[in-house]
Amino acid sequence: MGSNSDQGKHLTIATTAVVSVFFVLVILVATIGGGLERHERSAIRIADIDIAAEALGIAEASLNVTTYLDNGGDAQSGDINIVVKAYDADTNLLVTTNHTEVGKIGGRATKSASTYVKVPKAGGYKLQIVVFEDDKGIQRAETTIYGLTSLEPPSVAKIAIREIDFSVEAVEVEVERGRAREYAIINTTLYIDNLGRDVSGLSAFIKARDNETRLIADKVWKDLGMLKEGTTSLHYAELKVLNGRDYIIEVQIWQSKRIIKESSGMVLLSPFANKTVVLKTKEKTVEISPSFKISDFIGPSGRYEEGGYKAPVPAPMPAAPPAPGFEALSTASVFLIASLLLLKIKRRRRRG
């Protein structure tokens, strides 16, 4: 009997130990499982996306893609990474990509991260933003951007040509090869607004282009000096053009060997020239010679050669035929004397 009692006690103890271990294991599994469950319950979503663009030069731009991430769950997230891809909007081909490591996001927290990508300014782009948690893609968003060509680098002067005025400064008449040509000195006034910071080193290239032939009649460079921030400045230049013609005055503002602003205006001088009009309604074909020649558009200041403009060299005058001089007079005298001597000899012979 004692033996059976001892066996029952040992069995009870063993059963109790097994049950205790079982409950301990259940508690451990529940604890660990609860931790894993909390991790899995993190809820990451893309709350918003901001895109800023800046020109890096003439042909390239930098995009700053800022992604805002919300963790709507109570648990902390895993390691978060953001990948930004830029596709060509027309061909859908991948142009460039970049990524940003965000790290972990706590429960009920929001975090932002910026990702920079460089793209050509020409064309449009489809941006794809992908969010990874522990190397697993969990969120995706897309947006499209255009118009990057309008971006100017920060170093480019922000100026505007508000107005261009023209006035006749003087009229000059030049006689060349017996023909008189009338020139007008046109005073060009530029009104330039500086919409940015103080800037210097700008130059204006001003050209007078004949409206009919499209040939350049005159041109001049003008240094604009220092342009103060938020001011409008006046700049003057003179152009010498043939009177009686119409001209397009073209203005180009240069900075660092490239054009940053252009404008143009018209100067109409044709009202000051003679015109041919039809007085009869009878159909008749009349050939009219042009009133000007291509040589009229040769600049009055001469031709351009290496080292600068050179004054025109006058053509040599043709040599005049020699006037009757001493040589011709001597020949006539000798002939006259010889004739007198022969006449005298003949008279003596007759007398003899």
Residue range 319-336: mean pLDDT, rounded: 51
Q: Which position has the higher pLDDT, 190 or 323?
A: 190
Q: How far apart are CA 118 and CA 293, in angstroms?
A: 55
- Within 10 A of 309 (CB to CB), how many other CB atoms are there? 11
Q: Do 163 and 268 share a structural domain?
A: yes
Structural domain contains residue 246: yes
Amino acid at 187: N
Q: Do 113 and 192 share a structural domain?
A: no
Lowest mean pLDDT among 13-22, 32-41, 43-52, 183-192: 32-41
Domain count, the chain: 2
Query: Within 13 Å and on the Cβ side, how many CA atoms surround 351?
Result: 6
**Domain boundary, last residue among 216, 243, 272:** 272
> For 128-185, how does the pLDDT look when each residue is reduced to its tens digit (9 = 90+)?
999 999 999 999 999 999 999 888 887 889 999 999 999 999 999 999 888 889 999 9
Using CB atoms within 10 Å of the CB of residue 202, give its burial: 0 to 12 exposed, 13 to 18 middle, 19+ buried: buried
**Domain boundary, last residue among 272, 307, 324:** 272
**Domain boundary, last residue among 272, 293, 308:** 272
Q: Do 176 and 260 share a structural domain?
A: yes
Which pair of structure tokens corresponds to residue 31? 């604890």
Q: Do 131 and 164 share a structural domain?
A: no
User: Is it the case that residue 34 has pLDDT exceeding 60?
Assistant: no
Q: Do 176 and 130 share a structural domain?
A: no
User: Is it the case that residue 94 has pLDDT exceeding 90?
Assistant: yes
SS3 per residue for 126-156: EEEEEEEECCEEEEEEEEEECCHHHCCCCCC
> For 216-229, how does the pLDDT look when each residue is reduced to its tens digit (9 = 90+)?
999 999 999 999 99
Q: Do 136 and 236 share a structural domain?
A: no
User: Is it the case that residue 89 has pLDDT exceeding 70?
Assistant: yes
Lowest mean pLDDT among 196-205, 242-251, 292-301: 292-301
Q: Which of 134, 70, 68, 145 is nearest to 105 (CA)?
A: 70
Sheet holding 94-103, edge to edge: 94-103, 80-88, 125-133, 136-145
Structural domain contains residue 132: yes
**How much is the pTM?**
0.50
Q: Which of 112, 227, 111 is nearest to 161 (CA)?
A: 227
Q: What is the pLDDT of residue 302?
A: 45
Averaged confidence pLDDT in the chain:
82
Structural domain contains residue 238: yes
Domain that holds residue 81: 44-150
Q: What is the pLDDT of residue 349?
A: 61
Q: Is-contact 69 113, C-beta < 8 A?
A: yes
Q: Which of 72, 69, 34, 36 is nearest to 50 (CA)?
A: 69
Q: Do 206 and 231 share a structural domain?
A: yes
Q: Do 165 and 122 share a structural domain?
A: no
Quickly state the pLDDT bin for 24 (edges 50, 70, 90).
low
CATH number of the domain that residue 70 is part of: 2.60.40.10
Q: Do 189 and 136 share a structural domain?
A: no
Q: What is the pLDDT of residue 44?
A: 96
Q: Do 163 and 130 share a structural domain?
A: no
3-state SS, residue 6:
helix
Structural domain contains residue 333: no
Q: What is the pLDDT of residue 58?
A: 80
User: Is it the case that residue 118 has pLDDT exceeding 80?
Assistant: yes
Q: What is the pLDDT of residue 53?
A: 95
Structural domain contains residue 69: yes
Q: How far apart are CA 337 and CA 178, in angstroms?
A: 50
Q: Do 133 and 68 share a structural domain?
A: yes
Structural domain contains residue 181: yes
Quickly state the pLDDT bin for 345 (edges 50, 70, 90).
low
Q: What is the pLDDT of residue 303?
A: 42
Q: How far apart are CA 222 and CA 239, in angstroms?
A: 12
Q: Which position has the higher pLDDT, 154 or 110?
A: 110
Q: What is the pLDDT of residue 155?
A: 84
Q: Which position has the higher pLDDT, 5 or 156?
A: 156
Residue range 266-284: mean pLDDT, rounded: 78
Residue range 202-215: mean pLDDT, rounded: 97
Q: How far apart are CA 135 and CA 272, in angstroms?
A: 80
Quickly state the pLDDT bin for 236 (edges 50, 70, 90).
very high
3-state SS, residue 281:
coil
Q: Is-contact 264 207, C-beta < 8 A?
A: no
Structural domain contains residue 192: yes
Using CB atoms within 10 Å of the CB of residue 290, give its burial: 0 to 12 exposed, 13 to 18 middle, 19+ buried: exposed
**CB within 8 Å of 253: residues ≥ 6 apart:** 157, 159, 161, 192, 202, 203, 204, 224, 259, 260, 261, 262
Q: Do 168 and 126 share a structural domain?
A: no
Q: Which position has the higher pLDDT, 176 or 68?
A: 68
Structural domain contains residue 58: yes
